Chains A and B, each alone.
Chain A
Amino acid sequence: MNGVHDMGGMHGFGPVEIEQNEPIFHARWEERTFALTLAAAALGRWNLDMSRHAREQMPPTEYLRATYYERWLWGLRKLLVERGLASEGELRTGRAESEAGAARPLRVEDLPRLLQNRRGARVDDVVAPKFKAGDLVRARNLNPIGHTRLPRYARGRQGVIERDHGVFVFADANAMGMGKKPQHVYSVRFRARELWGPDAREGDSVFVDLWDDHLDPA
């Protein structure tokens, strides 16, 4: 979706301010929101791509005003309601009005498996790559209303396949409940001038990780 989360190349957000000796969390509620998000996700009722997509759907004015973990909180509440694990009323009062059904919550003893699992979105499916290193490609001009990991600044731009990362779950489909649609992910090198015009420095580049379904031969 063409949301405000897709920020690459926007102007006007001001300087980047690095906080010295920054704490991991700035408040207790941030800690709890972080942990609640991971623990609720471990129930298996949604995947990571759905979590990201939920946060992207925060209305743009709210998204920009919100702090990071306020966005997580918003996304978590949305998913809980959508999956029928909680109602709006329950979220307001904090009191259960109905059973959640049989669920096994994440336990302390599950954490090693959850956190040290070395399998991420990479899959073993054998899928032929559409491209190889050195191929000239053009990112498709796609504007789906659903989730996509193809940022606006790269759409329609020409780049070169730098490296084939192998076969991964396709986030754009997985976020929408349309299955894993496994395919190759590549590091695609875009010249800064191709993306931003003549004011960019010749020789500089931006590398974007894109899936087969984001690319056409150029």
Chain B
Amino acid sequence: MATDPSHLHPSDHEPGEHGSPLTETQLRVRALESLLVEKGLVDPAALDALIDTYQNKIGPRNGAKVVARAWVDAAYKRRLLEDASSAIAEFGFVGRQGEDMLVVENNPKVHNLVVCTLCSCYPWPVLGLPPVWYKSSAYRSRAVIDPRGLLKELGTPIPEDVEVRVWDSTAELRYLVLPERPPGSEGWSEERLARLVTRDAMIGVAKVRVPEEGSP
């Protein structure tokens, strides 16, 4: 088996989510890759480039730039809410699992939350690959039936007079939450605002906050 020694990565020894038999899984993946390479069905260089892309080039910093622009530029925000795919494409954030985007806006009366109950649909070009919790049975099962309980547990209690809207990504539309701009960020530059915006706020499980003086 033509195994690339770089496959013997230390993180291969990390335990899985449920303590699953990783050794068998590792062997299966290695056998699969060797086989597909030998058959000429995959090119290992393309695999490396795919991994590098999603590990290093695409992630929630993209979405944060979109949100910060919407906070400082009313015309951009209008475009974003009317035609999110085009407005996001202005940054060059386009493509796979984000071809058809929708942006839903939080305001003092509405809180939005995004889920995919059937699998793991997520807006890759603006948020990257989804975190484990987003793909977990716990989140997928509960977000639609008990969003308020879930948000409270995650430290984002929603007041009684605020409406909760849950978006289940059952088709090929992908959702990004436009969080509320936090108090205390008045006059900040777009770049500085973008650094405040978190992945979790763009999924809807957190609010954006200005860190207190002195905190990191």
* A residues with CB within 8 A of B: 5-11, 13-19, 22-29, 31-36, 38-40, 43, 52, 55-56, 64-68, 70, 73, 76-77, 80, 85-86, 90-96, 99-100, 103, 105-108, 110-111, 114-122, 149-151, 153, 165, 168-169, 171, 185, 187, 192, 195-196, 200-201, 203-211
State A212–B165 Cα separation when bound (angstroms): 22
* Contact status B35-A66, CB under 8 Å: no
Contacting residues, chain B, for A209 (C-beta < 8 A): 168-171, 173
Contacts known (A117-B95, A185-B173); A201 close to B164, Cβ less than 8 A: yes
* Contact status B138-A16, CB under 8 Å: yes
Instruction: Please count the residue pairs between chain A and chain B whose beta carbons lie under 8 angstroms apart in the complex.
Output: 295
Q: Which of A39, A118, A150, A201 contacts B46 (CB 8 A)?
A: A39
* Contact status A28-B11, CB under 8 Å: yes
A57 to chain B, nearest CB (A): 13
26 contacts between A and B (CB under 8 A): A8-B141, A11-B145, A13-B142, A26-B132, A29-B22, A36-B33, A36-B36, A39-B42, A73-B29, A80-B36, A85-B41, A95-B38, A96-B35, A107-B46, A108-B43, A108-B46, A117-B99, A149-B118, A150-B170, A151-B168, A187-B173, A204-B148, A204-B166, A205-B164, A208-B168, A208-B170
Q: Which of B29, B35, B118 contacts A6 (CB 8 A)?
A: B118
Contacts known (A66-B20, A95-B1); A43 close to B41, Cβ less than 8 A: yes
For chain B, which range describes its interface: under 10, 10 to 19, 20 to 34, or 35 or more residues?
35 or more
* B residues with CB within 8 A of A: 1, 7, 9, 11-12, 14, 16-18, 20, 22, 25-26, 28-36, 38-43, 45-51, 53-55, 59, 85, 89, 94-97, 99-100, 102, 115, 117-120, 128-129, 131-133, 135-145, 147-148, 150, 153-154, 160, 163-173, 200, 205
Contacting residues, chain A, for B36 (C-beta < 8 A): 36, 39-40, 80, 86
Which residue of the partner chain B has the closest CB to A4? B137
Which residue of the partner chain B has the closest CB to A64? B137
A96 to chain B, nearest CB (A): 5
Q: Which of B42, B46, B144 contacts A206 (CB 8 A)?
A: B144
A157 to chain B, nearest CB (A): 12
Contacts known (A28-B9, A85-B39); A7 close to B117, Cβ less than 8 A: yes
* Contact status B49-A207, CB under 8 Å: no
* Contact status B25-A73, CB under 8 Å: yes
Q: Which of B35, B46, B117 contacts A151 (CB 8 A)?
A: B117
Contacting residues, chain A, for B47 (C-beta < 8 A): 32, 35-36, 39
Most buried by A among B16, B26, B32: B32
